[in-house]
Amino acid sequence: MEWFEERLETAEGRTVRIGVTAKRACVRSPYQTIEVFDTVSFGRMLVHDGVIMATERDEAHYHEMIVHVPLAVHPAPRRVLVIGGGDGGTVREVCRHAGVEEIDLCEIDEQVVTVCREYFPGLTGGFADPRVALHFADGAKWVAEHPGYYDVILVDSSDPIGPAEVLFRREFFASLHGALREDGIAVTQSESFHYHERIIGQISRFGREIFPVYRYYYTLIPTYPSGVIGFSFLSKRFDPLRDGDPGRLPFLADLKYYTPEIHRAAFVLPAFTRAFLPD
């Protein structure tokens, strides 16, 4: 058996190794190298520049939590923007919400969509939904050019290196606030509390300065570094623990990870995070 190895730049001396049976694709785009592997235990796997983005076995843990937490809280989400997310999983989950009328995907790298359409049909089926429009553009510029337009914005980004680095700056979070309607919600991928204290602390500081409501929550993903990945919940009005009704989603029985209980529990954090995520 051959092994794929992801070295963790933020955790010296640690690595993730996944047994693979075949490499299905290797594409060099203007932004990154995109690879697709078949694995022994996790199904098909998507890799960008040597970093695991998604596997068939655990992708739902991420995509369901980035989507259904905010969309269960907002009372009437009609316009939704996904930044990044070219693999299609986030769009697929948004499409479950019948009340959503318009779904824009803003992905800077068109090759990600092309590769995933071929190798991950279980992720990309939402792209055929007539409510979905694909835009291959810079997400930071897109939000700056759409003031007061969206009910919910989901930033499904990779780590803060390369083309995604701008999505972790204060200026971008200010643009997110500006692109939301008066009761809008944004959720951004915000790294692991085990390895990224500085980044999370920074986002927490300017998130609280810009938005009336800021909370950090997380999901469990075996193939990501530390098995944990977090999200920043940023809202102009609604609180994820006081507002909305996670139990009202009519498709709950079809989901693999998200439940009303998981919704609430995901905001309960270990004691050590208080050092960089104060109440």
Note the pLDDT of residue 164: 56
Distances from the Cα of 193 to the Cα of 49, 65, 88, 177, 226, angstroms? 22, 16, 25, 24, 9
- pLDDT tens digits for 244-277? 999 999 999 999 999 999 999 999 999 999 999 9
Q: Both 90 and 26 in a single domain?
A: no
**Residue 58 burial class via C-beta count within 10 angstroms: exposed 0-12, middle 13-18, buried 19 and up:** buried
Is residue 86 domain-shared with residue 220, that is, in the same domain? yes
CATH number of the domain bearing residue 159: 3.40.50.150
Q: What is the pLDDT of residue 10?
A: 66
Q: Which of 19, 38, 55 is the last residue of a domain?
A: 55
**Are the CB atoms for 52 and 44 separated by under 8 Å?**
no
pLDDT at 14: 84
pLDDT at 187: 97
Give tens-digit pLDDT for 62-86.
999 999 999 999 999 999 999 999 9
Residue % of the chain over a pLDDT of 90: 87
pLDDT exceeds cutoff 60 at 207: yes
Average pLDDT of 191-208? 92
pLDDT (mean) for 107-121 = 98
Question: Does residue 164 share a domain with residue 40?
Answer: no
pLDDT per residue as tens digits for the range 160-191? 655 556 667 888 899 999 999 999 999 999 99
122 and 243 assigned to the same domain: yes
What's the structural domain count of the chain?
Answer: 2
Angle between helices 197-210 and 170-179 (to 10 degrees): 40
The token pair at 246 is 């996670």
Please measure the distance between the N-terminal and C-terminal CA atoms of the chain and give it in whole angstroms: 47
Whether 237 shows a pLDDT value over 80: the answer reads yes
Tokens of 204: 């927490």
**Domain end call among 14, 37, 55:** 55
Say yes or no: 88 and 51 in one domain.
no
Q: Determine the Cα–Cα distance for residues 41 and 186; give it in Å rounded to an integer.
A: 33
Q: Which of 19, 35, 55 is the last residue of a domain?
A: 55
**260 and 142 housed in the same domain:** yes
**Using CA atoms, how far apart are residues 98 and 93, in angstroms rounded to an integer?**
11
- Asked if residue 157 has pLDDT above 90, the reply is no
- How far, CA to CA in Å, does 55 sit from each of 1, 25, 223? 18, 15, 8
Mean pLDDT of the chain: 94
pLDDT value for 165? 66
CA distance 71 to 65: 10
Rounded distance between C-alpha atoms, residue 177 and residue 185, angstroms:
9
Residue 13: band (very low, low, confident or very high) from pLDDT cuts 50, 70, 90: confident
- For residue 2, the 8-state DSSP code is E
Same domain, 65 and 6: no
Residue 94 amino acid letter: V
Tokens, residue 247: 């139990």
Give residue 1's pLDDT.
82
Most distant CA atoms of the chain, gap in Å: 54
pLDDT bracket for residue 225 (50, 70, 90): confident
Q: Which domain holds residue 187?
A: 59-275
If phi > 0 it is left, if psi is from -120 to 50 it is alpha, else beta; for residue 193 that is alpha
203 and 263 co-located in one domain: yes
DSSP state for residue 30 in the 8-state scheme: S
Q: What's the confidence (pLDDT) of residue 251?
A: 98
Catalytic annotation, residues: 156
Residues 70, 45, 27, CA angle at the centre, nearest 5°? 105
Which CATH number is 20's domain given? 2.30.140.10
State how far the Cα of 37 lies from the Cα of 63, in Å rounded to an integer. Answer: 20
Q: State the pLDDT at residue 160.
A: 61
> In the chain, pLDDT over 70 holds for what percent of residues?
95
